[in-house]
Amino acid sequence: MDLVASPFFLAGLFFVVALVYSAVGLGGGSSYIALMTIFGVNALAIPMVSLLLNLLVTSVGSLNFIRNRHARIKLVLPFLLSSIPMAYIGGSLQLPKKIFYWILLISLCFVALRIYIWQNTAVKLNINQKGKIIISLIAGSILGLVAGIVGIGGGIYLVPLIIILGLGTEKEAAACGAIFIWLNSFSGLVSRFQHNSIDLTGYIPLMVAVLAGGTLGSFAGSFRLSPRTMEKILGAVIIAAIILLSKKIMMS
C-alpha cells in the first residue's frame, strides 16, 4: 500500500465519507476514488478497493432499506439486468494505466457535473413505461461497466435518475441505489478476483472505517447539514482529484 499519508488518517476520511453517503443510499465510491488518487494509492488497486468499500457500505444500507420496506424490486430490476453483466465485463478488463486514468478522469468529471450542475431532480419527465424501461437498461449497462472498470458504483447518478423519471420516491430511490451499488460492486469484485486480483490486507483499516461509518450513517439517515450540502463539500475532494489526475496524465 503506497501512500503519502498514514493509512489511519485516510481511514478517518473514509469513515466520514461512508457516514454521509450511506444516509442517502450511496456507497461513496466516487469520493473513495478521489481520495485514493490524491493520496497516491496504486492505480491497479483503486477500482478493487473502491468496489470492496462500496460493497461494505451498502450492505448495511440495503438491509435497512429492505427491512423498512422502501425497496422495490420491480423498480431496480431493469437497471440490474443490464448492469450486473457489464460490471463483470468491466472488472475483467486489464487496461493500461494511462487509459485507466483517462476513464477515471472522465468518470470523476461527470460526478463533479452531477454534484454542482445537475441539481434539479424535482422535474419529472413525461415518458411512457416502455421508454422508461429502455432508459433504465441503457443507464444500467453504462453504470455497470464503469463500476467494474473504475469502481464508482453509479448510485450518485441512479438515485436522481429514478426521481427525474418519476419512477419512485426519494426513499425508494435511495433503497434502489444501495441495492444497485451492492450488486454491481459484488459482480465487479468477483470478476476482479478472477482476472485482476491484488493483496488487500494493507487496506483493512479502510474497510473497518467504511463499515463503521456506513452502519452509523444508514441508521441515522439525516444530519445537521443536508445531504446536498455534504455532497457539495465532498465534491471539492473530487475536484482536487481531477486536478491531480490531469497533472499525472499530462506528465506521463
Question: In the block, which residue shows the cell 424490486?
Answer: 73
Distances (CA, A) of 152 to 26, 42, 69, 97, 214: 10, 16, 26, 17, 16
pLDDT at 231 over 60: yes
150 secondary structure, DSSP code = T
Would you say 103 and 161 are in contact if contact means Cβ atoms under 8 Å apart?
no
As a whole number of angstroms, the distance between CA 67 and CA 15 comes to 24
- Main-chain phi, psi angles of 151, to 5 degrees: 105, 5
pLDDT at residue number 120: 56
Q: Which amino acid is at 44?
A: L
Question: In the block, which residue shows the cell 420516491?
Answer: 169
Region of 62 please: left (phi>0), alpha (psi -120 to 50) or beta: alpha
pLDDT at residue number 123: 54
pLDDT in tens, 31-50: 888 888 888 888 888 888 88
pLDDT at 26 over 90: no
pLDDT at residue number 82: 94
249 secondary structure, DSSP code = H
Percent of the chain at pLDDT above 90? Answer: 10
pLDDT at residue number 81: 93
More confident of the two residues 209 and 153: 209
Q: Which residues contact 171 (CB under 8 A, 6 or more apart)?
A: 65, 70
pLDDT at residue number 111: 82
As a whole number of angstroms, the distance between CA 9 and CA 206 comes to 10
More confident of the two residues 77 and 7: 77
pLDDT in tens, 192-228: 888 877 888 888 888 899 888 888 877 765 445 555 6
Kindly report the average pLDDT of the chain as a whole number: 80
Banded model confidence at residue 119, pLDDT cuts 50, 70, 90: low
- What grid cell was written down for 17? 465519507
As a whole number of angstroms, the distance between CA 76 and CA 173 comes to 9
More confident of the two residues 140 and 154: 140
pLDDT at residue number 7: 74
pLDDT at residue number 222: 46
Q: Is 6 helix (H, G, I), strand (E, B) or coil?
A: coil
Distances (CA, A) of 111 to 2, 5, 20, 155: 26, 25, 16, 11
pLDDT in tens, 49-79: 888 888 888 787 677 667 766 667 888 888 9
More confident of the two residues 101 and 7: 101
DSSP string covering 39-67: TT--TTTHHHHHHHHHHHHHHHHHHHHHH
- What grid cell was written down for 120? 434539479
Region of 47 please: left (phi>0), alpha (psi -120 to 50) or beta: alpha
CA nearest to 162, candidates 25, 32, 8 = 25
Banded model confidence at residue 145, pLDDT cuts 50, 70, 90: very high
Banded model confidence at residue 138, pLDDT cuts 50, 70, 90: very high
pLDDT in tens, 184-197: 889 988 998 888 77
